[in-house]
């Protein structure tokens, strides 16, 4: 009887492990789709004079796109569990398109070779930190709180430096930004794994995949932007 119970426990553990693996594959799959959509949208926008004129016809238009992006991020992160899976997926895709439109400016400012270099470096660093976050036995909760405070400080310094335009401060901010988002990538990967394990087998697991994809997508994009600020060659 004891052996039977052990076998039953092992079977349940294996099933949970397989289900978690499928869920994390879903998370990273959606993240990859979002990045792909953003990349193609950015490249298309940068080569379309009509779209560029529409976006940069006035400062208000560009900032309207940025505000709309924030609305989508809030909508997905706060309402994803309450909405239909199809609606959540559509919202994530729309956000990826909007972000691609605003990021198209990178192709106008930086050389294509430096953008590719920054992207591949980001992919390598991001992948390593994701793996670390998923396999480490260390609880990264305290690290996450520290990084969140660092991120708030980083935003405040960036806003102040917008008016002073100090290249030295910008360099320090970029280095700090890379460090913060590397840490957040590991932290978020661990937390998404824990949340996915909790929701595995429920009707909300696919919605959780969208939220997790959005979080990792934001980590990747921000890490990429800070690396590009360090390595990017302007036209």
pLDDT score at 109: 92
Taking residues 57-67, report their average pLDDT: 79
Decide if 215 contacts 173 (C-beta within 8 A).
Answer: no
Q: Is the model more confident about 9 or about 145? A: 145
Decide if 229 contacts 178 (C-beta within 8 A).
Answer: no
What would the pLDDT profile of 5-14 be if each residue is shown by its tens digit? 554 545 566 7
What would the pLDDT profile of 163-214 be if each residue is shown by its tens digit? 888 888 999 999 999 999 999 999 999 999 999 888 877 778 899 999 999 9
Residue 185, judged by CB atoms within 10 A of its CB (0-12, 13-18, 19+), counts as buried
Q: Is the model more confident about 225 or about 4? A: 225
d(CA 31, CA 41): 15
Lowest mean pLDDT among 69-83, 124-138, 181-195: 69-83
Number of residues in the chain: 235
Taking residues 39-43, report their average pLDDT: 95
**DSSP codes joined into one string, 35-68:** HHHHHHHHHHHHT-HHHHHHHSSSHHHHHHHHHH
- Token output for 144: 């996450």
Q: Is the model more confident about 152 or about 81? A: 152
Which helix (H) or strand (E) is 231 found in, with range?
A: helix 205-231
pLDDT score at 15: 75
Q: What is the pTM of this model?
A: 0.90
Please say if the pLDDT value at position 2 is more than 70.
Answer: no
Residue 58 neighbours by CB under 8 Å, 6+ apart: none
Residue 227, judged by CB atoms within 10 A of its CB (0-12, 13-18, 19+), counts as buried
How much of the chain exceeds pLDDT 90, in percent? 63
pLDDT score at 7: 46
- Per DSSP, 233 falls in state P
d(CA 81, CA 217): 18
Q: What are the beta bridge partners of residue 110? A: 234
């Amino acid at each position: 009887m004891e052996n039977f119970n052990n076998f039953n426990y092992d079977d349940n553990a294996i099933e949970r492990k397989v289900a978690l693996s499928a869920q994390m594959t879903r998370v990273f799959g959606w993240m990859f789709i979002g990045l792909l959509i953003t990349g193609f949208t950015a490249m298309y926008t940068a080569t379309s004079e009509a779209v560029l004129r529409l976006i940069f016809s006035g400062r208000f238009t560009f900032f309207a796109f940025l505000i709309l992006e924030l609305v989508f991020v809030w909508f997905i992160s706060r309402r994803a569990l309450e909405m239909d899976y199809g609606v959540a997926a559509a919202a994530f895709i729309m956000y990826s398109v909007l972000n691609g439109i605003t990021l198209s400016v990178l192709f106008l400012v930086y050389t294509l070779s430096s953008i590719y270099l920054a992207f591949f470096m980001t992919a390598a660093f991001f992948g390593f930190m994701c793996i670390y976050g998923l396999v480490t036995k260390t609880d990264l909760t305290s690290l996450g709180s520290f990084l969140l405070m660092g991120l708030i400080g980083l935003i405040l310094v960036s806003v102040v430096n917008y008016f002073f335009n100090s290249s030295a401060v910008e360099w320090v901010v970029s280095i700090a930004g890379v460090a913060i988002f590397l840490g957040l990538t590991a932290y978020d990967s661990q937390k998404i794994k824990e949340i996915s394990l909790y929701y595995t087998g429920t009707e909300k697991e696919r919605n959780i995949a969208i939220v997790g994809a959005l979080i990792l997508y934001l980590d990747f994009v921000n890490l990429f932007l800070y690396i590009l600020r360090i390595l990017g060659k302007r036209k």
